[in-house]
């Protein structure tokens, strides 16, 4: 078996703002396997400034992975515990290699019968006009769940936008989620949560920065709206440590980004524990290309979670790889009348 890797730079159609800054490009890496003429592909979706494996020797670790591909998926996964994005790439690549169609790694009604996955519409940070424009577009496109990133502009303007939505749409008509990406200062977090709760917000992701377990526990105990842990899960590899975190903080939800938490296996460890402690969960992509998004979407469908998932990121880029993934009326579909480029993997090998 032979393994190679390829760096790929994704270009955003429009600069996309988060509380950690503005994104114009996204670096990702493809892991490609070849065995007796068969090809498999996986994506190692690194997020600069957020992934715990965003380290100077990342490419060196990819090279090591390719040099040791003979060890197999399970042994490599264990040895790459500090590199969750590569763990995920390994899982995808081996599944892809053994599949009749290298892009269909979980055959289901999603891939065979165009059964959809419900998703949220994502509102990026920006100036007030830009955010209002996005909200109107998502509503016109038929989304019934909208997630708005907050923390970049002033809180009053963000609240005004949410109020404008609520004046027209009740919580039964439109589910509103917000994502603070850790932007709230600890002393101001609970008062802001109370303001948001008055607008029938479904949940807030990561209101304060990760690593403040005691304060997050207090927030989750006192919050008037549900809190979802996101960044808090990053860098927690050991199953015992995962359980300790959930026992300590006792959140209402956790959010799983396979590229950031060790792929399918790492995510399933979190899901098992969440079920044990009656904690809700959903899956979100981490700005992967359509290769990684496709794998996440196919896997997510098999989990049979009816909540809207965070998988609507495929259209963000000018140079994404053509795929059958299509967003329509708040759902993600795998359209059988659209195809992957037949020689896509070969082209990426060049």
Coil/strand/helix, residue 51:
coil
CB neighbour list of residue 338: distance below 8 Å, 6 or more residues apart? 323, 324, 326
- The total of other beta-carbon atoms located within 10 Å of residue 186's CB is 15
Question: Quick count: other Cβ atoms within 10 Å of Cβ 286?
Answer: 23
- Inter-helix orientation angle 155-168/186-197, to 10°: 20
* C-alpha–C-alpha distance, residues 34 and 346, integer Å: 10
Q: Can you say whether the dihedral through the CA atoms of 108, 112, 117, 121 is positive or negative?
A: positive
Distance of CA 81 to CAs 86, 258, 277, Å? 9, 13, 25
Helix (H/G/I), strand (E/B), else coil: 19? coil
* Cβ neighbours around 188 below 10 Å, total: 12
Interatomic CA distance for residues 299 and 183, integer angstroms = 31
Which residues are identified as catalytic?
149, 257
Tokens of 136: 């109107």
- Helix (H) / strand (E) containing 204: strand 203-205
Listed in sequence order, the residues at least 6 apart from 133 whose beta carbon sits closer than 8 Å to its beta carbon are none
Q: Report d(CA 159, CA 188) in Å as an integer.
A: 15
DSSP string of 170-192? -TTT-EEEEE-TTBS-HHHHHHH
Cα–Cα distances in Å, from 138 out to 119, 122, 185, 325?
Answer: 12, 8, 30, 18
């Amino acid at each position: 078996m032979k393994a190679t890797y390829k760096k790929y730079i994704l270009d955003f159609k429009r600069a996309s703002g988060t509380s950690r800054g503005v994104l114009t490009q996204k670096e990702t890496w493809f892991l490609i396997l070849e065995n007796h003429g068969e090809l498999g592909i996986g994506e190692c979706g690194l997020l600069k400034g957020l992934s715990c494996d965003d380290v100077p020797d990342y490419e060196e670790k990819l090279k090591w992975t390719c040099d040791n591909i003979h060890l197999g998926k399970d042994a490599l996964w264990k040895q790459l515990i500090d590199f969750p994005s590569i763990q995920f790439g390994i899982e995808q690549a081996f599944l892809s290699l053994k599949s009749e169609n290298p892009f269909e790694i979980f055959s289901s009604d999603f891939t065979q019968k165009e059964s959809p996955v419900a998703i949220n519409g994502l509102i990026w940070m920006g100036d007030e006009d830009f955010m209002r424009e996005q909200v109107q577009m998502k509503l016109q496109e038929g989304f019934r769940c909208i997630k708005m990133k907050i923390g970049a502009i002033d809180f009053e303007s963000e609240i005004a936008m949410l109020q404008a939505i609520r004046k027209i749409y009740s919580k039964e008509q439109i589910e509103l989620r917000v994502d603070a990406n850790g932007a709230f200062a600890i002393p101001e977090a609970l008062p802001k949560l109370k303001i948001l709760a008055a607008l029938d917000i479904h949940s807030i992701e990561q209101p304060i920065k990760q690593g403040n377990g005691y304060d997050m526990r207090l927030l989750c105990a006192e919050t008037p709206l549900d809190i979802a842990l996101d960044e808090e899960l990053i860098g927690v590899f050991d199953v015992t440590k995962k359980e300790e975190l959930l026992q300590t903080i006792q959140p209402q939800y956790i959010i799983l980004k396979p590229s950031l938490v060790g792929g399918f296996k790492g995510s399933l460890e979190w899901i098992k524990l969440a079920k044990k402690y009656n904690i809700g969960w959903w899956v979100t992509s981490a700005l992967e290309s359509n290769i990684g998004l496709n794998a996440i979407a196919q896997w997510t469908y098999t989990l049979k979670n009816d909540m809207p998932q965070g998988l609507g990121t495929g259209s963000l880029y000018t140079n994404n790889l053509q795929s059958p993934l299509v967003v329509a009326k708040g759902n993600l579909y795998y359209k059988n009348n659209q195809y992957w480029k037949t020689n896509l993997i070969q082209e990426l090998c060049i």
